[in-house]
Structure 1
């Protein structure tokens, strides 16, 4: 349960100091004249998340000796070690943050006291049951079980345990979220309102390309090719994300990126943005790219297409709360999430244009067309109409004239 006290050995929850920083205490054991003596240690962070990460790193360093001395550590000792020594530097920072969040908030409080070799199917069932009964979503429980499965999978690989008990437990079923999408009339109203808003070019580009939030915020001008011989196009090559270490650029695995062809509306939005940004750059002068708040950290994130008025990045955590939702209220448009612009485009392509799923898959960057089909099942055209029309030409109509 999320409000349960941490398991022993996991350190304290982050608390804020008078200077604004957060701190957590944890215990280490040092050898003294009378044997092992507990000593209190402290880690710090600018945010609770950063403090949690520093705590997990410290616990991982502390627990190296525990795992070397024991082939059967408690899960509360094993998870920080696994995160810091095995997972770190092998996944994106945001992925690591997700695993760490599941470990500290759910896995360790419920199963932290259990030793690896005693951890069985019943414990995993208890985890699932307790998380669901506390009101957590199926998605969160699935993610917690997935994290535990990965951690125990490594223990299987190194021979600590013979089998992974998570595999024997069926996770909660996936609950398909009802998509909140606009009608075509709403979209056209949205385009008209966007012309009057400083952030309008960003909104229009998102609504006409299906780019995700991090993809559009991480777009560089070098990715935009308005005069390409095959028509205007942009390439999606990176995400701008906020993680426990701050705002950063995550590059996609492929070197070429995902090509997305641009509509005339999208081209117009990018031309407006370039002109607008050039004016803001001149107005800012030497302050271009410098945060307004003196204590704010300065990031070098490349030649971003979409920036604040003084040339700094747009924080992903601010886009919806400070910009998109207020814009919708002013425009009198139905409230949707920023990500729902992507869903709206897909539904318009399917319902109005009868687009082929493979075309939407490529445009949206889905790894498999099955994701496209599963997400937009209710909006997919049957694709039967043109073939039925052809069959009409071949078969003709039913008549009773030839019936005796």
Structure 2
């Protein structure tokens, strides 16, 4: 006896479970819609019970007609809307490849810019003109990046509609980037302005900005550093985590984001000085009963907030960077401006591929040709050149850093606090320290 189901029913025939459901098709003889019954062989009775058979039928219906509760229409009946296709056929596929933390943002933008204004229009009614017109309207009110993102989504959506046989021709394949895009910020600073900014900061904030300037770090990478990621003998920092929307994640913005970055010796020395200072602060807080452990844990953040967590990027930008820009009369100072500035100024310090290595772009489309090979030694040289500009020591001879594990000679003692009044190198020579040391 047949067992009814909301979107079909299952029954047995011999040793097999069969399911039946209905869908609407166009009658080629009359060109009118009609409902037809579709049979599905679900499997052997010995391998599934009735409930499992129903679930198997439901999966088949969903595969053929859309998700549970969606209209039981097919591609050639002309009533599948843009909104239904995006919700039931496009997003479920993309969610499998989107990162969970960014999927919600992507879905929200698609809903606001595409589904809300276009959702009720039948998929078959779109053409290049209507899509280009919508993109041009977005360009009048939205940023350049958002318009480019929506164009990419439109092309993906309609390409998927063709792949799934909902459309014969892709109307979005020739949609162009609108010519009248809102201008983007192109602010860059000079070496003198960067050095001036560093000279006005105390040790912690100077290290934050000098690390950011030397290695063009993203703030999501910078504020996620823990002490266990700092290898002083090797003068390296490992990017293994990033901060995103108040959470720590173990993946970065691009495939190349998570990597080992090189530090110039002087910068590594200063970072070790900061570590010793943090250790002393931990002992002082422990003595006052403000801390459970007297030792600095390798798990602690290098640049922690008052509660021991990671710093908030927006708060730091407003509290330190914006204030510094006002005090020094700089046109603008943000992490994005610093990264753009380094990408611009570093072109004279190494090849474009070396700059790409410093910025850790996943594609050279952001910096240039895909086929140039990155040379680690050249990247290290580029980083050193950038830091020499920041410290104002270009052209001055400097001793080579000691190899990891070897005896260290002539290195500044990290335990000695660097002050604004220091005028001579702590390495025993007469070489002057940079102005901000």
- TM band (smaller chain): 0.5 to 0.7
Aligned ranges 1:139-218 → 2 under 5 Å: 139-172=145-178, 177=184, 179-194=186-201, 196=202, 198-218=204-224
Distance, in Å, in 2 between the alignment partners of 1:255 and 1:183 is 27
2:229 is aligned, of 217, 223, 226, to: 223
Distance, in Å, in 2 between the alignment partners of 1:172 and 1:94 is 30
Contact 1:142 1:172 in 2 (8 A): no
Residues 327, 89 of structure 1: alpha-carbon distance in 2 compared, 3 angstrom cutoff: farther
Distance, in Å, in 2 between the alignment partners of 1:288 and 1:84 is 47
Contact 2:256 2:360 in 1 (8 A): no
Contact 1:211 1:342 in 2 (8 A): yes
Distance, in Å, in 2 between the alignment partners of 1:343 and 1:187 is 12
Partner-residue secondary structure (3-state), 1:339: helix
Partner-residue secondary structure (3-state), 2:173: helix
Partner-residue secondary structure (3-state), 1:152: helix
Residues 268, 68 of structure 1: alpha-carbon distance in 2 compared, 3 angstrom cutoff: farther
Contact 2:83 2:115 in 1 (8 A): yes
Q: Which has the larger radius of gyration?
A: 2
Distance, in Å, in 2 between the alignment partners of 1:251 and 1:199 is 25
Residues 70, 319 of structure 1: alpha-carbon distance in 2 compared, 3 angstrom cutoff: farther
Contact 2:212 2:338 in 1 (8 A): yes
Aligned counterpart, 1:47: none
Aligned counterpart, 1:249: 249
Once the two structures are TM-superposed, the CA of residue 83 in structure 1 deviates from its matched residue by 6.6
Q: Which moved more, 1:358-367 or 1:163-172?
A: 163-172
Once the two structures are TM-superposed, the CA of residue 276 in structure 1 deviates from its matched residue by 4.2
Higher helix share: 1
2:332 is aligned, of 335, 352, 367, to: 335
* 1:259 paired to 2:260: yes
Distance, in Å, in 2 between the alignment partners of 1:310 and 1:193 is 26
Aligned ranges 1:234-313 → 2 under 5 Å: 234-242=237-245, 247-252=247-252, 257-282=258-283, 303-313=300-310
* 1:125 paired to 2:132: yes
Partner-residue secondary structure (3-state), 1:360: helix
Residues 311, 81 of structure 1: alpha-carbon distance in 2 compared, 3 angstrom cutoff: farther
Aligned ranges 1:363-382 → 2 under 5 Å: 363-373=358-368
Aligned counterpart, 1:381: none
Partner-residue secondary structure (3-state), 2:161: helix
Partner-residue secondary structure (3-state), 1:155: helix
Contact 2:82 2:122 in 1 (8 A): yes
Residues 281, 326 of structure 1: alpha-carbon distance in 2 compared, 3 angstrom cutoff: farther
Contact 1:284 1:310 in 2 (8 A): no
Distance, in Å, in 2 between the alignment partners of 1:236 and 1:310 is 22
Once the two structures are TM-superposed, the CA of residue 365 in structure 1 deviates from its matched residue by 0.7
What 5-or-longer segments of structure 1 have no aligned partner? 1-62, 290-301, 375-404
Aligned counterpart, 1:115: 122
Partner-residue secondary structure (3-state), 1:166: coil
Aligned counterpart, 1:85: 92
**TM-score computed with the length of structure 2 as normaliser:** 0.58
Partner-residue secondary structure (3-state), 1:251: coil
Distance, in Å, in 1 between the alignment partners of 2:269 and 2:80 is 60
Deviations 1:210-236 (A, max 9, x none): 1111121222333322202xxx12233
Aligned counterpart, 1:293: none
